[in-house]
Structure 1
């Protein structure tokens, strides 16, 4: 990829599912604030119990988490938890140059640009009996949509420095359909 054609991150979506469930992801949603009590363990759990639930901000409590927290749910096609959202055309872009503690706890506004927080992602991706998938939606400067989909995803604990674990890659974010995955993408000598 040429330097001017590098993709710009728009959305990271996480779907947790029981082994028999399967879903796809769509992009761009509105975010009305919904219930104040936990509605489920994660967005896919909410979708499993109510497939007509609207996209928006929900309060969830993953199994094993000590307290509930708010997340942005994309409820189309299976209930995806948005763990990061960037908006290329934002009037006041959110500064992602942050310290360790901010990345650990999360920052930004769920209705716009945000990072959910490493501790929340660990809680979501380590629930017993649930498997997490990761979808990274990208859009380059020419408005070409790119996607990286990993069939399994979880983060290690803080003691493990939140080590990233990714499964099988599928997508076109490596430059060509069937190209390299994001974990292998980067500058070339």
Structure 2
């Protein structure tokens, strides 16, 4: 097998090193007769100035591998142009007893110890540049006069349905993590359910209901968003955090896949009566299982507990199920109607919304607000 193509005379090292080379703490800087390259390193992918290539734009960062969960990070077939203030990063995880690697761009002062970094790890309190000889960047600023200070997130007092919180360079998987990082005010946060190399989502965090850190994945209060939607809409999510929304089944699965989450549901009637229930175990399966619902007690609160009867049901939408089409929304339906002890996604304010909460609200005509939230159990 032969590889053909072009390469620049500025390339530092054409040999692809193994993963073991990356994690070796006794790495020696490779030397060659190529002197034009300032920060092009085969093992830490610094290359922040384009390896000295003529015409490389000043406002661009390095060209990095960009793959999700590859068995061999060096065989990643796609690349991504990073921003000027970013560097390349590879993270290692164990998935189903296999080592997998996710690569991409990351801000060059980002350091997080919850995952194993093969390279690209940066210190939050150190030096802003990429150090070829110090993979963890712990001593990068020893001989530098640069003084980098981390600016804490701003103090804010948002209204729970209107305000937005910007978390800056802080990367929170969910509202639980934001709460335990010191953010105790309810509002809109940006979370990264798939890690910081995955897509981000804006979500409403309820920090007031004990124990704090609830991620709201369903919210309705005025009927401004239509919930009679197809499978892909429910998969990806719809609506906005400043109105009504469904966070998305992919995100709900990712946030509950540890099987260590709990569920809080609430319903407010037009007469002001509010019902709440806390289910101590809640998670859903992946698409292969049709997002099967797993719900267990103990159950606490002042509402009827019948939603437990729907545990084990698959998720259905109007384009995949006649029952969902009849009910005009996506849900974990349990036929016939009277077995749907809880159903929050029907036609808002309409008599066709059957049993929003069996025994408490028989049709949607009496419903003012619904909310569903998840939280970690630890």
Same fold (TM over 0.5): yes
Corresponding position: 1:84 with 2:218: yes
* Whole-angstrom distance in 2 between the partners of 1:70 and 1:157: 22
Corresponding position: 1:114 with 2:241: no
Q: Any idea what the Cα deviations from partners look like across 1:101-159, whole Å, max 9, x if unmatched?
A: 000000011122110010010111114xx721111011124321111210011110011
CA RMSD after TM alignment: 2.4
Look at both structures and tell me which one has the larger radius of gyration over its CA atoms.
2
1:56 alignment partner, one of 187, 198, 203: 187
Could you tell me which runs of 5 or more consecutive residues in structure 2 were left unpaired when the two chains were aligned.
1-158, 310-340, 342-354, 360-378
Please say if residues 173 and 182 of structure 1, whose CA atoms lie closer than 8 Å, have aligned partners that are also in contact. Answer: no
Offset at 1:63? 5.5
* Whole-angstrom distance in 1 between the partners of 2:243 and 2:262: 22
* Whole-angstrom distance in 1 between the partners of 2:201 and 2:169: 10
Task: Give matches, 1:18-97, under 5 Å.
Answer: 29-35=160-166, 37=169, 39-50=171-182, 52-62=183-193, 66-76=198-208, 77=210, 78-87=212-221, 90=222, 93-97=224-228
Offset at 1:73? 0.8
TM-score by length of 2: 0.37
Aligned to 1:183: 308
Please say if residues 31 and 55 of structure 1, whose CA atoms lie closer than 8 Å, have aligned partners that are also in contact. Answer: no
Task: Give matches, 1:127-138, under 5 Å.
Answer: 127=258, 131-138=260-267
* Aligned structure 1 segments of 4 or more residues deviating by more than 3 angstroms: 36-39, 63-66
C-alpha change, 1:75 and 1:39, in structure 2 (3 Å) is farther
1:164 alignment partner, one of 293, 296, 321: 293
Of the two structures, which has the highest relative contact order with CA contacts closer than 8 Å and spacing of 6 or more?
1
TM-score by length of 1: 0.70
* Whole-angstrom distance in 1 between the partners of 2:213 and 2:290: 28
* Whole-angstrom distance in 2 between the partners of 1:53 and 1:31: 16
Q: Secondary structure at the match of 1:73?
A: strand
* Whole-angstrom distance in 2 between the partners of 1:37 and 1:163: 35
C-alpha change, 1:63 and 1:114, in structure 2 (3 Å) is closer
Aligned to 2:60: none
Please say if residues 160 and 188 of structure 2, whose CA atoms lie closer than 8 Å, have aligned partners that are also in contact. Answer: no
C-alpha change, 1:108 and 1:37, in structure 2 (3 Å) is farther
Q: How many residues align?
A: 150
* Whole-angstrom distance in 2 between the partners of 1:138 and 1:30: 16
